[in-house]
Structure 1
Amino acid sequence: MKKVGISSNNLLHPNAHFGTNYVDYIQKNYIDGIIDASALPMVFPIGSPSLAKEYINSVDALILAGGQDVSPEYFGEDPHVNLHETDQDRDAFEVALVLEAIQQDKPILGICRGLQIINVALGGTLYQDLNSQYQNLVVKHNQYPTKWYIPTHRLILKRESWLSNLFDKEALVNSFHHQAVKKLANGLQIDAVSSDNVVEAFSDEIRHIYAVQWHPEMLLMKNPDAQKLFNLFVEKI
């Protein structure tokens, strides 16, 4: 059985259930998507970037999940006034995982923040806040309070790619983000955009990199077809 590493998130603030007993975690839907694709999920707790080599050694592929904003220090900008919470430890750890997975020639799937951290790790940049920085914004890219499993905006395929057999020419996806790709890193190719031309998916078949801006793991709650994306990724291992 193929083993898929998935980088975790962590609680950064006290809460009513855990208090200050901080935990690393990953949402169950990611785990379900991996298991239902006949692969074994291996959750990586956030740690030192020096551990990336051993973590990637232990798996056949890597998934990077959603979460906090990516710090603009990685693309040479000061924090924008509308930047949300960042996590320096997570950023550094996941950048190291991306670079090590490429070094070991192991496939990577990025989801939401995962797409963004891949782009930044490879030298790209981000809009820190679409609402105030993206001039052509006409689509609601954070659909809250609409439920996470409901697709809300169009996905426009830009070329023949790994997504071509998964989606119609203009499918619907869900959307929970306010950061997005600004400058695409060298070697990546845009596979899909929203109707206002925000990057929704990219890939690099040579380095086995695949990434989407929406949340297929959330769509799994009510849309069984969302499993096809996880299936396809595992088939590429």
Structure 2
Amino acid sequence: MKKIGIAGNHLMHANPRFGTNYVNYIQKNYAAGITNGGALPIILPIGAPELASDYIATIDALLLPGGQDVSPDDYGEEPIPQIGEIDPQRDAFEIALIQAAIVADKPIFGICRGAQIINVALGGTLYQDLTTQVPALAVKHDQYPTKWSTPTHHLAWQSSNWLTAHMSKTALVNSFHHQAVKTLATGLQLDATSTDGVIEAFSDEERRIYGVQWHPEMLLMADKNAQLVFDAFISRV
């Protein structure tokens, strides 16, 4: 069975449920997308970047999920006032995982923050806050309070890619982000944008690197066809 490593997150603040027990975790929907696709999810807890190569050696592919904002220090910028919480430890670990996976020639799939950290790891940049930095924004990219499993805006396909055989030309996706890819890293192909031009998907078939800005794992709760995104990635492992 194919083993897909899912980079984990961790609690950084005390909370009523766990107190100061700063647990490692991953949302179960990511694991469901992997198991539904016939593969085995392996959670990789945040650790020292020096452990990345050993983690990658135990898996067949890497999935990077959503989460905190990526630190602008990772792409040479100062933080603007509108940036959210960052986690430099997570950034460093995930960048090391990405680099180790490329060296080992193992596929990589990023979702939301995961796509953003892939782009940064490969030399690209991000918008720290879309509302502040993109004056022509015409689509609501953080759909709250609409629930996660409800798609709200359309994709505009920019090229034939790994997803076009599995998704409608007028596909609707969900959207929970205020950061996004700004300058696409060298070697990445632009696959899709929102109708107002924000990058929604990219790929590099030669290195088997894929990223989407929306959350297919949450769409799974209401639409079984969202599984096709995970199936398309697993087929490349």
Three-state SS of the structure 2 residue aligned to 1:202 is strand
The answer for the alignment partner of 1:99 in structure 2 is 99
Alignment of 1:31-70 (within 5 A): 31-70=31-70
The answer for the alignment partner of 1:207 in structure 2 is 207
Alignment of 1:112-131 (within 5 A): 112-131=112-131
Three-state SS of the structure 1 residue aligned to 2:229 is helix
Q: Is 1:140 equivalent to 2:134 in the alignment? A: no
Amino acid at match of 1:165: A
The answer for the alignment partner of 1:192 in structure 2 is 192
Tell me the CA shift for residue 207 of structure 1. 0.7
Whole-Å separation in 2 of the counterparts to 1:134 and 1:74: 21
1:53-89: CA deviation from partner (whole Å, max 9, x where unpaired): 0000000000000000000001111111100000010
1:84-109: CA deviation from partner (whole Å, max 9, x where unpaired): 00001000000000011011000000
The answer for the alignment partner of 1:3 in structure 2 is 3
Tell me the CA shift for residue 163 of structure 1. 1.0
Whole-Å separation in 2 of the counterparts to 1:83 and 1:31: 29
The answer for the alignment partner of 1:171 in structure 2 is 171
Tell me the CA shift for residue 168 of structure 1. 1.5
The answer for the alignment partner of 1:18 in structure 2 is 18
Whole-Å separation in 1 of the counterparts to 2:14 and 2:61: 33
Q: Is 1:180 equivalent to 2:177 in the alignment? A: no
* Structure 1 residues without counterparts, runs of 5 or longer: none
Whole-Å separation in 1 of the counterparts to 2:149 and 2:169: 21
Three-state SS of the structure 1 residue aligned to 2:171 is strand
Contact 2:131 / 2:137 at 8 angstroms: preserved in 1? Answer: yes
Query: TM-score, normalized by length of structure 1?
Result: 0.99
Contact 2:163 / 2:232 at 8 angstroms: preserved in 1? Answer: no
Whole-Å separation in 2 of the counterparts to 1:136 and 1:104: 41
Three-state SS of the structure 2 residue aligned to 1:170 is coil
Query: TM-score, normalized by length of structure 2?
Result: 0.99
4+ long deviations beyond 2 Å? none
Three-state SS of the structure 1 residue aligned to 2:89 is helix
Whole-Å separation in 1 of the counterparts to 2:148 and 2:125: 26
Tell me the CA shift for residue 135 of structure 1. 2.2
Whole-Å separation in 2 of the counterparts to 1:169 and 1:118: 25
Amino acid at match of 1:98: I
Whole-Å separation in 2 of the counterparts to 1:201 and 1:124: 14
Three-state SS of the structure 2 residue aligned to 1:35 is helix
Q: Is 1:88 equivalent to 2:88 in the alignment? A: yes
Whole-Å separation in 2 of the counterparts to 1:119 and 1:146: 28
Three-state SS of the structure 2 residue aligned to 1:18 is coil
Whole-Å separation in 1 of the counterparts to 2:180 and 2:231: 25
Three-state SS of the structure 2 residue aligned to 1:203 is strand
Tell me the CA shift for residue 156 of structure 1. 1.0
Contact 2:95 / 2:117 at 8 angstroms: preserved in 1? Answer: yes
The answer for the alignment partner of 1:74 in structure 2 is 74
Tell me the CA shift for residue 39 of structure 1. 0.3
Amino acid at match of 1:153: H
| Aligned-residue RMSD, C-alpha | 0.5
Q: Is 1:221 equivalent to 2:236 in the alignment? A: no
Tell me the CA shift for residue 136 of structure 1. 1.7
